[in-house]
Amino acid sequence: MKTGIVRRIDELGRIVIPKEIRRSLRIKEGDNLEILIDNESIILKKYSVIKNLNEFAQNITDAIHSFITNSVLITDTNSILAVSGPLKKELLNKTIGIDLESKIKRREEMLEKHKKPLKITDSELECTYAVSPIIVAGDVIGLVMIISKENVEDTDLKLTKIAAKFLANHLEM
């Protein structure tokens, strides 16, 4: 997809990415961009520290799911990277919804034991859940979440905390 927007480079080598493009690509202040060169083109791409660990993240969700029946998922700040359990087909590789974006923004760790509607993706799901942010070098880079259409327990929150801390420690190495 090509656009016809032209921007001038300032004396420090900076350019401004138009608001419409940032909004459509969900690029927010503080997001990291990867800069790639392809022949004579410069490509700016949203960068996800955790995205490079898809297989590792999937192994973590599989391991947790082997002990519980609920769905387990790991996200970055934009999409769902790994899912194990009943909701895998429904959620894997989907863009996160506004409720998960909000939890990332607020660094929210919580256990919701009463069924509530939650926008995990574009669609809403009536569920209970446990969620913990993955924090690396002071920045939230994603979430670990356990979701149930029935009920979650205090141990589910502990599992999300352990997985989030494990991923954060792995990424800081």
Per-residue pLDDT of the chain (173 residues; tens, 9 = 90+): 566 788 888 999 898 888 888 887 778 787 778 888 888 888 888 777 676 778 899 999 999 999 999 999 999 998 999 999 999 999 998 999 999 999 999 998 999 999 999 999 998 999 999 999 999 988 899 999 999 998 999 999 999 999 999 999 988 76
- How many CA atoms lie less than 13 Å away from 161 in the CB half-sphere? 9
Exposed/middle/buried for residue 14 (C-beta within 10 Å: 0-12, 13-18, 19+): exposed
Question: What pTM was computed for the model?
Answer: 0.76
120 contacts 91 by C-beta, under 8 angstroms? yes
**Residue whose structure tokens are 């991923």:** 167
For residues 120 and 123, what is the distance between their CA atoms, to the nearest angstrom?
Answer: 7
**Residue whose structure tokens are 């490509």:** 43
Strands, sheet with 80-84, edge to edge from the N-terminal-most edge strand: 80-84, 71-75, 139-148, 124-136, 110-119
For residues 149 and 35, what is the distance between their CA atoms, to the nearest angstrom?
Answer: 41
Helix (H, G, I), strand (E, B) or coil at 166: helix
**Residue whose structure tokens are 């192994």:** 59
65 contacts 72 by C-beta, under 8 angstroms? yes
Q: Which letter does DSSP use for residue 20 in this model?
A: H
